[in-house]
Every structure is written in C-alpha cells, then in structure tokens.
C-alpha cells in the first residue's frame, strides 16, 4: 500500500473514533437534558393546609415538561415520593408493560397507583401533601425534603434521622461497595 493509502487509512480511523466520541457526548447531553437531577436536603415547616414549599435548589431542576405538576405516592420507606409529571410519565410507560394478570404485578400497581395523587405547585411555589400520605409518612408540622435524582422525598425529620442512623453499614463502606472504590 502506498503512502497516500496509509494516510487515508489513518484518517478513516480518526473519523471513526471521532464519530464514536460524538455519539458518547450526544448520549451524555441527552441524559442531562432529559432527567431532572434533584439533590440536597432541607427541613421546612408545613402550614395548616398541608402545604410546603419546594426548595429553590430543587425547583431549578424542574423541566418545563413537568408543567409544575407532581405525582405524589407512598414510598417503600416511610416517606412520600414526589415525581415531576415528566418523570412520572416514564414510570407510567413501565407500569403499562406489567402483567395485570400476574398477582405480584397487580398488587404493585394497585398499591402505587391507589396512593398516587397529582398536585400542582401554586404561585408561592408550594405543593399540598395530601392528608392520607402525610399520615402514612408520620409527617406533622415539619418535613425533611430530600432530592433523589428523578424525584423528591418528603420525610418526618425524626424518621429520616432514624433511617440514616439505623443502617447496618457505614456510609463509607456502602459507598465503596456501590461505587466500586
């Protein structure tokens, strides 16, 4: 093969590597745009009507597609989960694939959907936590709000502290196992 053939071959390899790199970058950007990424923790008061402010640092991650609407449901821990509508729709797609003739699938669907409530943020950036969900989570006058990537959790502050301090392993040990450090 002549020198120009080798140059062409090297150029073709570079183009292929560049295409792969662009594909990876595109996927990363798509994920960053498509996913709300809630993080952080705050403790706020709840008013007499069960309303609580959504923290500013979490509101800024709401996607326009959510239309300031959340679906609230009970968590598997003793807390309330709040999914922005655009994130909840992704779960609805997964729910639709479950077999309603399978007892376990049917039980899961009944539990998560029967506890679900759609709420809109008001002009003061508050959402209303339904009484039934507050009672389930034991939430009274104060609530700890925790960002969890695609949703927000609402906990009774003492319950959240008990959860954190009641783990059988230290955070460092869990982090090393989960993250492979």
DSSP 3-42: HHHHHHHHHHHHHHHHHHHHHHHHHHHHHHHHS--B--EE
pLDDT tens by residue, 105-147: 999 999 999 999 999 999 999 999 999 999 999 999 999 999 9
Per-residue pLDDT at 64 = 86
CA distance linking residue 176 with residue 83, whole number of Å: 29
**pLDDT in the model for residue 137:** 98
Per-residue pLDDT, 79: 98
* Of the candidates 164, 161, 149, 157, the residue with the CA atom closest to the CA atom of residue 82: 149
Q: What is the Cα–Cα distance from 75 to 116, expressed in whole angstroms?
A: 10
The candidate with the shortest Cα–Cα distance to 114, out of 69, 73, 71, 86, is 73
What pLDDT sits at residue 180?
87
Q: Which residue has the tokens 């309303």?
A: 51
Collapse the DSSP code of 74 into the 3-class scheme (helix H, G, I; strand E, B; otherwise coil) and give the result: strand
pLDDT below 50 — which residues of the chain? 30-33
Report the Cα 86 to chain-centroid distance in Å: 11
Cα atoms in the 13 Å half-sphere on the side-chain side of 3: 0
In the chain, the largest separation of any two C-alpha atoms, in whole Å, equals 83
Q: Which residues of 87-101 are buried (b: 16+ CB within 10 A; e: fewer)?
A: bbeebeeeeeeeeee
HEC secondary structure over 127-149: EECCHHHHHHHCCCCEEEEEEEE
Positive or negative: CA dihedral 32, 37, 39, 45: positive
């Amino acid at each position: 093969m002549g020198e120009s053939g080798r140059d062409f071959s090297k150029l073709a390899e570079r183009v292929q590597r560049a295409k792969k790199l662009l594909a990876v970058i595109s996927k990363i950007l798509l994920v960053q745009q498509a996913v709300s990424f809630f993080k952080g923790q705050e403790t706020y008061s709840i008013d007499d009507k069960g309303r609580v402010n959504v923290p500013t640092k979490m509101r800024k991650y709401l996607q326009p597609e959510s239309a300031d609407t959340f679906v609230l449901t009970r968590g598997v821990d003793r807390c309330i989960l709040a999914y922005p509508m655009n994130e909840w729709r992704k779960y609805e797609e997964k729910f639709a694939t479950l077999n309603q003739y399978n007892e376990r699938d049917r039980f899961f669907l009944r539990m998560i959907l029967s506890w679900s409530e759609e709420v809109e943020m008001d002009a003061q950036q508050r959402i209303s936590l339904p009484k039934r969900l507050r009672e389930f989570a034991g939430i009274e006058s104060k609530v700890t709000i925790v960002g969890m990537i695609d949703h927000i959790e609402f906990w009774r502050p003492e319950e959240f502290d008990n959860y954190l301090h009641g783990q059988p392993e230290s955070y460092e040990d869990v982090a090393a196992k989960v993250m492979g450090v």
